[in-house]
Structure 1
Amino acid sequence: MATYLERIKLTWDLSAEDIKNRAESLKTTVKDVYDKVGALKADELSYENIIQALSNNDSYYSVQRNMLDFPQHVSSKKEIREASTEADKKLSEFDVEMSMRQDVFDNLVAFQEKTDVSKLKPEAKRYLEKLIKLGRRNGLHLNKEVQEKIKTMKKRASDIAIDFNKNINDENTVLEFTEKELDGVPADAIKRFEKTSDGKCKVTLQYPDYFPVMKKCRVPETRQKMEYAFNSRCKEANTKIMEELVEIRDKKSKLLDFPTHAAFVLDMRMAKNPETVSTFLKDLSQKLRPLQGKELKRFLEYKEEECKKLGISFDGKINYWDMRYYMTIAEEREYSIDHNKLKEYFPLDHVTVGLLDIYQELLGLKFKEVPNPPVWHEDVQMFTVVDAESGKFMGHFFLDLFPREGKFSHAACFGLQPGCLEPDGSRQSAAAAMVANFTKPTADQPSLLTHDDVETFFHEFGHVMHQICAQAEISLFSGTRVERDFVEAPSQMLENWVWEKESLSRMSKHYKDGSPIPDELMEKLVKARNANAGVFNQRQILLGTFDQTIHTRPTADTQAIYAEISKDVLQIPATPNTNMCASFGHLADGYDAQYYGYLWSEVYCMDMFHSRFKKEGIMSPKVGMDYRKFILQPGGSLDAIDMLKNFLGREPSQEAFLVSKGLQA
């Protein structure tokens, strides 16, 4: 084990001062490499002193930088989180400086012109082309005055985007309710809430608190208060930041001769342009409209019936604070699924064992937990990964699954150490962390997952496997560094396993007696996959459309735009004086003009699942290894469309995606 641990170059016992000092030292080391590359004369340029030098530098920088900026998301110490955020800002500014190095760009262009690039290895050729394209996208082919403007804009955008996400992580609103005001909320959630001195429940806006209230609380006023607070998170500070980001992004794109920020972003994506995305979202929205209409009509019927029963006045509409509540009622009534009962069959420890077994079998891997691991918090588990057949070491992953104050508030995979070649030709193994916020165990009950949680676990762990299984040589193409509108597809594809009886039965048993999920309940769950598909998918279309809308104009009143699109697409009006955009972290965190990618990549994920796994066996090791070889292994070293064609044996099709939404192809 010791030799495996030596393969990881990350350490988590840094003080705030260490983080600050290391950030400065890292900048000096990396700048030195850029200086040497930039100082080369045209006749001195070689593969080794430009391509190899920059590639080795990328790999070194990536590991060191992740070690300094990851703690802002997971450290339990505020001073560490703040030092990490500050280091991230400084290093992001440094990234801008280095990305704008005219001397390095000129030498890359000169090397390309003097070299027969067809003789370069395919990945090296791709790397050279990508660096030159990125240089042009930074304006390095333009005059100095324009470049300075771009540099200033990039630095400002980077700084305020970090602030945006820090504000969300630091958000700690607590609402207080009596148990009567929480009528209908599951008993285990009530028991888990901290209590005030006069016995009220303290309810945070973190997912394990928020969703049980929004899905189950019978008291509309309670749901309304929760929803208002939730969609007002960071409203004052983050609305200003997002609207400034929109302006900066638009101005920068125009300087680079793109009509809009969306056009600039999509030039590097599978979709290629905003028109393609707009058509995709509008067409899907229209196809879903009849389904959505039926669902909203049923929600209203349930609401009218419940208002009569509880003696509450009926306002004749579905509000934001009603949506998840009546989606839950519809699911329970139409499919007779009691999600509270269902989660008794998903104790986290058992789900984890089952999930890891499925991934190992499917992808031909072996995982082993590291005892007493060197990690950032006592809740974190660490594992090694080897190839099952050859015993070859593949990398490490970490599981950090429970909420705590100041921690990243969603679920995500963080690539920490890119898998790529070392300067001496040996392989640097990959390391990745899955960070989530599942319910913590209590004295008398283990952590129990909802089926949604199990799906989230499967999805994010799919990203972890993408990081570990990718075998690119150059760190720029390691792991999930594929086109952003394809990056979700490999993980979305693996979500299908939580809807299949064969795999579900391996991940579930009752936490008290170990009994399996009854067949009847299992069948109802699988049938319920498309429950509320119209409303659910229109909400995804709303978010994608909102993102495209604000990024195809020079300025944006985000609150007004969101309210307008919500009314049009979701057909539920946004609650007055809220602004969901202020806590829409994706738009400050690299998904700007790209949120459509979740639905876009689902087209490919459904095609892959139905065309290969569903036909040849969902636990087929042959298909699993093909998946690992053709989809996960290349990382970003091939275009996504080529990876898909290699796995499918044909061009991709939309048919399976439309059928999966309950629509005709």
Structure 2
Amino acid sequence: MRIGRVFLTTVRVGGTFSASRYHSFPPRPIAPAAKFVVRRCNLSVSIRSSSMAVPAGVLVNWDLTKCTPSQLEEDTVKLLAELQQRIDNIGAIPLQQATYHNVVQPLDALNRDLRTNGAILDMPQHCVEDKLVRDASSKAEEKMEEFDVAVNMRADVFERILHVQETGMDELGAEQKRFVNKLIVKGKRYGLHLSSDVQKQIKELKTKESKLAIKFSSNLNEDDTKLYFTKEQLVGLPHDIMNELSVGSDGKLEVTIKYNHLFPVMKNCTNPETRKAMVTAANRKCMKENTPILEELIELRHLLATILCFPTHAAFILDDRMAKTPDTVATFLTDLQGKLGELVEQEKAVMLAYKEEECKESGLECNGELDLWDMRYYMDMVEKKKYAVDHNVLREYFPMPRVLTGMFDVYQQLLSVKFDKVDNPPVWHKDVLMYKVNDTDSGELMGYFFLDLHPRAGKYSHAAVFGLQQHCKLEDASTQVAVCAMLCNFSMPTADKPALLEHSEVETLFHEFGHVMHHICSRAEVALFSGTSVSRDFIEAPSQMLENWVWEKEPLALMSEHYKSKEPIPDELLLKLAASRAANAGMVNMRQVALSSFDQAIHTQQSADTASEYARIHKQITGFAAIPDTNMPASFGHLGGGYDAQYYGYLWSEVFSMDMFETRFSGKVMDGKVGREYRDIILARGNSIDAKDILVQFLGREPNNKAFLRSKGLKC
């Protein structure tokens, strides 16, 4: 993940028997034997009258325009009552009669129905304009997460899974055996092998943790911070962005700290005081509300880890990840920090020289150092001066309609899939698009995806993919197709101009769509292993690998044209863009090291003063002092969204993504044969096989970090 795309994907931590429904990961499990199948609850939210037909294979109606708070409340009660009865039935099966088919598969069905029907109850908080509906949706999520915890803590159900492991494994296939074994491991991570008193304590703590994490994320979604500037204070901002700003009562222009305003101001505005005001506001976002929540979460997580006999929360989390231990992560980050150090100093020297020159020309006093609000501005200047890449010129070649069409062309050719727009789709907002996906060769229906691309009040404020319905193989050999939604916040089109994307935004779009394809292309038979349910420190690798396409000439030609003249990007500009890829690599990646190190630090402690800890680590690693009276971690959504002690995974995954790209795709980025192998081995397998094993199969050898280091401009 590159600077400027701070929040690419968010998740809530999944459970043991009941895997979390929240966002993209992990997917919903498969259906059980026929007598347990209840594939769709008759929820009023999803079956109300609508002029929009629900496409074949989609289990709920996503037209939320008439959704009401009372519907959400009633449907949550109804859904959980039904599922409670089903989990009680599983727990009542005589122990000696417990089998995969009457215990494990029914658990899958319960998971699937909780997640499919639950998605329509908790999704509105991220996408519906009515605040009362968003609040009701958030409360629905709290109740469902509480139910999740309760199901995960069912010792009677765990005992029956143990019986299946001990007596019924011989008749199972490899994937089914893996599923049973994973459930046992997860059960122990919930303390189900400990005393009933300890289990009660764990249940209380996990319920509290879940509620705090939901509140942390909800506060970020609801933030509506606005600043007001004169046109003179915004000099340098592109005209189309300036023109879309609302005018306040005093005649000043209204600027939010959402990405579609924040980044253009930080990169383009020549007034350092304006940039300082913006970055200060951004780093104070939800500080009052979320700082105490985050610090309580840190204490709760540590206590839970120690109860489960782990020294720290990081040790608990990493025990179930590729990295395995905090020491491994610390070594990885420290080694990368050391390798980046010299490069960072060289980059800073160039930027400081630019700052001194600009201050002299404009008559401003120069303090002789780079400030936090200087970073994006002078990084952009490096690309303009050193690489002759002007992103304000370049964005004119990336109108949203053309980018989408070209991106679809790339993915269709590469992965042997076909996209068709759904007419009059059931959607939650008029701007949302829906597409059907079929396999090119067989014509098989693979799933659907929604695109919700532009900002609006109360909408999820970053970029992420939300899993709404997971691919799964049913007991009758039929298939439940995948459905997911991509939410982003790209600038709106205007009356005389389409939405224009910066190249970094094209990269974001390509990355997130990679997660969409990971969902859609899943072919794991056990749906708990479907698509993006892979280890959290591998989860970003497939999408990161696909980011490389936005730096290659052939895909760029498909995704670009001047919004007025329809001319392609000149070859000269493409060459300059490609040459600029390593620009600022030191500072970009050192910031990621700092954020990852902070995440590890607070989750290897019993408690933390997050503002002072962040200021210390950020200064130590990046050299930039935090702004007084701010606390960036209060708006660091990953910490409450399922990436706790796992933010390092963005850099860790990049080791694999660059190895895959350089080894298999370098020089043949539109090779459909290799692309199909990528789909069948990396995307389709999900978590049915260990990530390390599918990497070895795709690469033909053990993975290494050579391509990763080269991509950062570092020696191997």
Distance of aligned partners of 1:476 and 1:531 in 2 relative to their CA distance in 1, 3 Å threshold? same
1:11 to partner: Cα distance: 3.3
> Which of 616, 626, 637 is the matching residue for 1:585?
637
Does 2:85 correspond to 1:42?
no
Mapped to 1, the partners of 2:177 and 2:535 lie a distance apart of 18
Does 2:334 correspond to 1:251?
no
Other-structure match for 2:271: 219
Other-structure match for 2:692: 641
Bigger Cα displacement from structure 2, 225-234 vs 119-128: 119-128
Other-structure match for 2:568: 516
Whether the 8 Å contact between 2:298 and 2:603 is mirrored in structure 1 is yes
Does 2:378 correspond to 1:353?
no
Whether the 8 Å contact between 1:262 and 1:548 is mirrored in structure 2 is yes
Other-structure match for 1:54: 107
- 1:457-468 alignment, distance < 5 Å: 457-468=509-520
Mapped to 1, the partners of 2:90 and 2:252 lie a distance apart of 64
Q: Quick one: which amino acid aligns to residue 216 of structure 1?
A: N
- 1:358-507 alignment, distance < 5 Å: 358-507=410-559
Bigger Cα displacement from structure 2, 313-322 vs 231-240: 313-322
> Which of 581, 604, 608 is the matching residue for 2:660?
608
Deviations 1:416-470 (A, max 9, x none): 1011123543110000111000010011111000001100000000000000000
- 1:91-102 alignment, distance < 5 Å: 91-102=144-155
Does 2:83 correspond to 1:17?
no
Bigger Cα displacement from structure 2, 15-24 vs 156-165: 15-24
Q: Please give the secondary structure, in 2, of the residue aligned with 1:366.
A: strand
Q: Quick one: which amino acid aligns to residue 193 of structure 1?
A: L
Mapped to 1, the partners of 2:104 and 2:608 lie a distance apart of 41
Does 2:380 correspond to 1:328?
yes
Mapped to 2, the partners of 1:59 and 1:455 lie a distance apart of 32
Other-structure match for 2:138: 85
1:70 to partner: Cα distance: 1.1
Deviations 1:465-505 (A, max 9, x none): 00000011222112200000000000000000000011101
Q: Quick one: which amino acid aligns to residue 76 of structure 1?
A: E
Does 2:673 correspond to 1:622?
yes
Q: Quick one: which amino acid aligns to residue 263 of structure 1?
A: A
> Which of 639, 643, 653 is the matching residue for 2:704?
653
Mapped to 2, the partners of 1:303 and 1:513 lie a distance apart of 36
Q: Quick one: which amino acid aligns to residue 81 of structure 2?
A: T
Mapped to 1, the partners of 2:146 and 2:329 lie a distance apart of 31
Q: Quick one: which amino acid aligns to residue 601 of structure 1?
A: S
Whether the 8 Å contact between 1:477 and 1:637 is mirrored in structure 2 is yes
Other-structure match for 1:299: 351
Whether the 8 Å contact between 1:51 and 1:124 is mirrored in structure 2 is no
| TM-score, normalised by the number of residues in structure 2 | 0.91
Mapped to 1, the partners of 2:360 and 2:600 lie a distance apart of 41
Deviations 1:144-201 (A, max 9, x none): 1111111111011100111111111111011110011111111111111111244311
Does 2:225 correspond to 1:188?
no
- 1:122-141 alignment, distance < 5 Å: 122-141=174-193
Bigger Cα displacement from structure 2, 194-203 vs 460-469: 194-203
Bigger Cα displacement from structure 2, 4-13 vs 70-79: 4-13
Other-structure match for 2:43: none
Mapped to 2, the partners of 1:652 and 1:119 lie a distance apart of 34
Structure 1 gaps, min length 5: none
> Which of 580, 586, 603 is the matching residue for 1:534?
586
Whether the 8 Å contact between 1:216 and 1:325 is mirrored in structure 2 is yes
Distance of aligned partners of 1:280 and 1:504 in 2 relative to their CA distance in 1, 3 Å threshold? same
RMSD (Å), alpha carbons: 1.2
Whether the 8 Å contact between 1:544 and 1:596 is mirrored in structure 2 is yes
Deviations 1:57-84 (A, max 9, x none): 2212210111111111111111111111
1:46 to partner: Cα distance: 1.9
Q: Quick one: which amino acid aligns to residue 117 of structure 2?
A: Q
Q: Quick one: which amino acid aligns to residue 99 of structure 2?
A: S
Other-structure match for 1:110: 163
1:370 to partner: Cα distance: 0.3
Structure with a larger share of its residues in helix: 1
Whether the 8 Å contact between 2:53 and 2:426 is mirrored in structure 1 is no
Mapped to 2, the partners of 1:238 and 1:45 lie a distance apart of 45
Whether the 8 Å contact between 1:8 and 1:431 is mirrored in structure 2 is no
Whether the 8 Å contact between 1:8 and 1:429 is mirrored in structure 2 is no
Q: State the percentage of identical aligned residues.
A: 51
1:9 to partner: Cα distance: 3.0
Q: Quick one: which amino acid aligns to residue 12 of structure 1?
A: D
| TM-score, normalised by the number of residues in structure 1 | 0.98
Other-structure match for 2:118: 65
Other-structure match for 1:31: 84
Whether the 8 Å contact between 1:139 and 1:146 is mirrored in structure 2 is yes
Does 2:281 correspond to 1:236?
no
Mapped to 1, the partners of 2:370 and 2:207 lie a distance apart of 43
1:12 to partner: Cα distance: 3.4
Deviations 1:23-53 (A, max 9, x none): 1111112122211111111221122111211
Other-structure match for 1:200: 252
Mapped to 2, the partners of 1:218 and 1:93 lie a distance apart of 49
Mapped to 2, the partners of 1:400 and 1:489 lie a distance apart of 23
Distance of aligned partners of 1:301 and 1:19 in 2 relative to their CA distance in 1, 3 Å threshold? same
